[in-house]
Amino acid sequence: MQDSNPFSFTIVITGAPYSSQAPQSALNFAEAAIKAGHRVERVFLYGDGVHLASALASPPSDEPHWPREWSAFLEKHSIPGVACIASALRRGLVDEGEQKRYELSASNLLTPFVIAGLGEWVEGRMTSSRTLYFHGSD
């Protein structure tokens, strides 16, 4: 069913995959929002939520691969996925640029995620009709 009054959403995920249900709930919500004809403007990973953008997560094959499921969803709908740079660097999540800057041995950011500052969240907060948070439940 298409909604006659489309909304735009910024989705913020602060709970990590495999230690919280947040990435999973957020994905179900985002899929339903698009199905209803709304727009997901941007997904912002903050705090422990940045672990969702790890290219190295390797869950057992009979468990859902949340980073890959999110990555496929973002690519399919051309939605920017942004991991907060301060949260990401602290937790060992880096792209090639940060790898060079800090002279690290590897980078591990899953495409299409990018690393950027909290300004991306502020912008989403200002321009989207709704900014929705998915936290861990501890």
Partner 1 sequence: MTEIQTLHILNKSPEHPRFTRCLSMAGPEDAVLLIENGVLGLGTASASVSGKLLALEADMAARGMGGQSGTVESVDYDAMVELTTRAQQVISW
Partner 2 sequence: MSTLIVIDQPPYGGWAGREALDMAFSLAAFDQPVSLLFCGAGVNWLRKGQEPGTVRQKSVEKNLAAAPIFGVEALLADSDDCNRYGLEPGRLLDGVTLVRTDAQLFAGYSHTAFAG
Contact footprint for partner 2 (CB under 8 A):
12, 14-15, 46-49, 86-87, 90, 117-119, 121-122, 125-126, 131, 133, 135-136
Label residue 107 exposed, middle or buried (CB < 10 Å: 0-12, 13-18, 19+): middle
- Tally the C-alpha atoms within 13 A of residue 56's C-alpha that lie toward its C-beta: 10
Our answer to whether residue 86 is catalytic in this structure is no
Q: Which does 119 bind (CB under 5 to 8 A by kind): partner 1, partner 2, none?
A: partner 2
Does 28 participate in binding partner 1 (rule CB under 8 A)?
A: yes
Tokens of residue 80, six digits = 């920017």
| Residue closer to partner 2 (CB basis): 54 or 131 | 131
Does 39 participate in binding partner 1 (rule CB under 8 A)?
A: no
Question: Which candidate, 16, 2, 27, places its Cα nearest to that of 132?
Answer: 27
